[in-house]
């Protein structure tokens, strides 16, 4: 069984416990190698711009107390997380704790470590500052831009303990995402939904169509329906290839479902809705599409899925 080397970014917060529990659920203990990685900082991240200010000197005592409390919280967390992994059956030699002093910034330090031979990087949607959603302006959103060659898992809140939605198009990159997913769900079988979304006309297009003659409108709709049918037919072959990949890794065919969603106004919204309606915990999206233009667009889709799926865990796979 091929080992999966996982980098779990933790800070001792309740969200860090969610990160560890999610990894335990998703990865077979016999194939897991996990590094619990913490970037320590002598001052709160928001204080770095104030460090050289004269007014900052008056805060040194409270900041020192904060650092001591943070250090203790991280030590307690690492002990509890290691115990949880051991209880789940992960061998002691497969668990490593790394606490590294902040060098250039938390997200940059994480990104540098992420490219040291890991199969995935896992972060919580929030951290020590529970009020501030990381996706809205800090570590996780920065990692989306910096960790581009390694799959990034952004752990959300509650969800079904089983089930993965994989968003697909007809690109090779999409099948790479399937390969990665298969290598994890095969050893720990769970439901997988393969979904493809075809967008319909937006409000602006519908307004333009009204200016066409009735005959031109009928022709346009007929051509659109024909193109939709061809697109669905193309995806049948993609779904079959993806299902074969999943089966080859040990996932029974009865756990695999396929779905084409047509007429959606937003691909990202449709993908997230499919996950919620089906009770799936994890959503897998790719960074790249069929072409350079599609690659840019798929990047927008994956970012929007991350923003929308706050109650789900999102994998962004290169």
Query: What mean pLDDT is reported for the chain?
Result: 83
pLDDT for res 65: 72
Q: What is the mean pLDDT of residues 40-46?
A: 63
Q: Are 190 and 256 in contact, with CB atoms under 8 Å apart?
A: no
Q: What is the mean pLDDT of residues 293-310?
A: 71
Q: What percent of the chain has pLDDT over 70?
A: 79
DSSP for the chain, please give it.
Answer: ---EEEEEE--SSHHHHHHHHHHHHHS-GGGEEEEEEEEE-SS-GGGGGGTTSGGGGGGHHHHHHHHHHHHHHHHHHHHHHHHHHHHTT--GGGEEEEEEE-SS-HHHHHHHHHTTT-SEEEEESB-SSTTSBGGGTSHHHHHHHH--SS-EEEE-SS--SS-EEEE--SSHHHHHHHHHHHHHHTTS---EEEEEEEE---HHHHHHHHTS-HHHHHHHHHHHHHHHHHHHHHHHHHHHHHHHHHHHTT--GGGEEEEEEEEES-HHHHHHHHHHHHT-SEEEEES--SSHHHHHHHHHHHHHHHHH-TTSEEEEE-
Higher pLDDT, 8 or 175: 8
Each residue's pLDDT tens digit, 158-211: 655 679 999 998 888 788 899 999 999 988 889 999 999 988 655 565 666 667
pLDDT for res 314: 95
d(CA 269, CA 277): 12
Please give the CATH number for the structural domain made up of 164-317: 3.40.50.620
Q: What is the mean pLDDT of residues 242-252?
A: 96
Q: What percent of the chain has pLDDT over 90?
A: 50
Q: Are 184 and 317 in contact, with CB atoms under 8 Å apart?
A: no
pLDDT for res 232: 83
pLDDT for res 300: 78
d(CA 204, CA 34): 49
CATH superfamily of 4-155: HUPs (3.40.50.620)
Each residue's pLDDT tens digit, 59-82: 555 567 767 778 888 999 999 999
d(CA 285, CA 101): 32
d(CA 159, CA 167): 18
Whether residue 154 is predicted with pLDDT greater than 90 in this model: the reply is yes
Region(s) of the chain under CATH 3.40.50.620: 4-155, 164-317
Each residue's pLDDT tens digit, 83-108: 999 999 999 999 999 999 988 888 89
Higher pLDDT, 195 or 221: 195
Q: Facing residues of 99 across strands?
A: 38
Q: Facing residues of 152 across strands?
A: 121, 316
- Taking the whole predicted model, whether its pTM rises above 0.85 is answered as no
């Amino acid at each position: 069984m091929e080992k999966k080397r996982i980098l779990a970014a933790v800070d001792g917060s309740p969200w860090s416990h969610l990160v560890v529990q999610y990894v335990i659920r998703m990865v077979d203990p016999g194939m897991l190698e996990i590094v619990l990685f913490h970037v320590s900082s002598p001052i709160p991240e928001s204080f770095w711009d104030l460090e050289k200010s004269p007014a900052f000197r008056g805060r040194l005592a409270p900041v020192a107390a904060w650092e001591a409390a943070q250090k203790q919280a991280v030590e307690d967390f690492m002990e509890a997380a290691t115990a949880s992994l051991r209880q789940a059956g992960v061998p002691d030699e497969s668990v490593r704790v790394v606490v590294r002093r902040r060098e250039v910034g938390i997200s940059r330090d994480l990104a540098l470590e992420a490219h040291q031979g890991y199969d995935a990087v896992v972060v919580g949607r929030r951290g020590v500052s529970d009020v501030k959603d990381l996706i809205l302006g800090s570590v996780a959103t920065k990692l989306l831009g910096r960790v581009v060659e390694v799959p990034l898992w952004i752990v959300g809140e509650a969800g079904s303990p089983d089930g993965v939605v994989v968003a697909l198009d007809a690109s090779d990159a999409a099948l790479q995402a399937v390969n990665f997913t298969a290598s994890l769900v095969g050893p720990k079988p769970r439901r997988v939904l393969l979904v493809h979304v075809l967008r319909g006309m937006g409000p602006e297009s519908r307004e333009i169509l009204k200016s066409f003659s009735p005959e031109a409108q009928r022709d346009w709709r007929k051509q659109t329906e024909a193109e939709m049918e061809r697109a669905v037919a193309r995806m049948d072959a993609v779904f079959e290839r993806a299902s074969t990949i999943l089966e080859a890794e040990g996932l029974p065919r009865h756990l695999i479902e396929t779905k084409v969603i047509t007429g959606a106004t937003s691909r990202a919204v449709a993908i997230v809705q499919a996950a919620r309606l089906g009770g799936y915990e994890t959503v897998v999206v790719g960074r790249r599409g069929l072409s350079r233009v599609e690659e840019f667009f798929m990047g927008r889709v994956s970012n929007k899925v991350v923003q929308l799926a706050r109650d789900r865990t999102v994998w962004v796979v290169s």
